[in-house]
Amino acid sequence: MPIKTILASLDSLEKLHRSLLRLAYDKTTLIKNGEMEKLDQLLKDEQAHLAAIVQMDTGRQTAVTKYLTDQGRLVPTNPTIADLLDNAPEADKKNLEEARDRLLHAIHDLKVQNDLNQKLTYQSLQFVNLSLDMVRPRPESANYSKTEVNGNKSTKKQVTFDSQA
C-alpha cells in the first residue's frame, strides 16, 4: 500500500478535526447565549463527526498495518504514524511529518476549545445552582435544640411552594 493512501487518510482526519473544531467554536457561542435547543442539535452533529473520525482512524491504522506488513516489518498492535516514520523511505518522511504535525495542531486546538467549553458549562451550572439556592427556602437547623432533647419537638411541615402568593 503506498504512502499516498496513508497521507490521504491523515488529510481526511485533519479535515474532520478542523470541522469538529468549528463545531466547538459554535458550541462556545451557544453556551454563552444559553441556546439549549441549538446546543442539543450541535451535540448530535458532534457525535456524527466523532463516529466519522473513529472510522477514518481505523482505516488509517489498517493502511499503516498493511504498509508495514508489505515492507516485511514488525507490526505493533495499534500502529501509529511514528511507527511508520521509523520505516518509511526518506522521500516520504517529510510529507508524513508535515501531515502528522498538522493533525496534531488541529487536535491541540480542539482540546483547548473543549477545555474552554467545559469551564463555561461548569460556570453556567454554578450559576443555576446559586439561583436555585436563592429561591429555595433554607432547611431547619440539623442541630438538636433543648426541647428536642426533652422530647417536646413539634414538627413543622416545610412547604416549598406557596400557593397563596
Per-residue model confidence (pLDDT) at position 151: 60
pTM of the model: 0.74
From CA 18, how far away is CA 96, in angstroms rounded? 18
pLDDT at 103 over 70: yes
Q: What are 56-66's pLDDT values in tens digits? A: 999 999 998 88
Residue 105: band (very low, low, confident or very high) from pLDDT cuts 50, 70, 90 = very high
Angle at 147 between CA 143 and CA 153, to 5 degrees: 85
Directed axis angle between helix 36-70 and helix 3-33, to 10°? 170
CA distances from 35 to 11, 27, 97 (A): 33, 10, 40
Percentage of the chain modeled with pLDDT above 90? 47
Q: Where are the domains of the chain?
A: 3-133
Contact 56/89 with Cβ under 8 angstroms?
Answer: no
- Residue 155 makes CB contacts below 8 A (sequence gap 6+) with none
Residue 72: band (very low, low, confident or very high) from pLDDT cuts 50, 70, 90 = confident
Residue 161: band (very low, low, confident or very high) from pLDDT cuts 50, 70, 90 = low
CATH architecture of 3-133: Up-down Bundle (1.20)
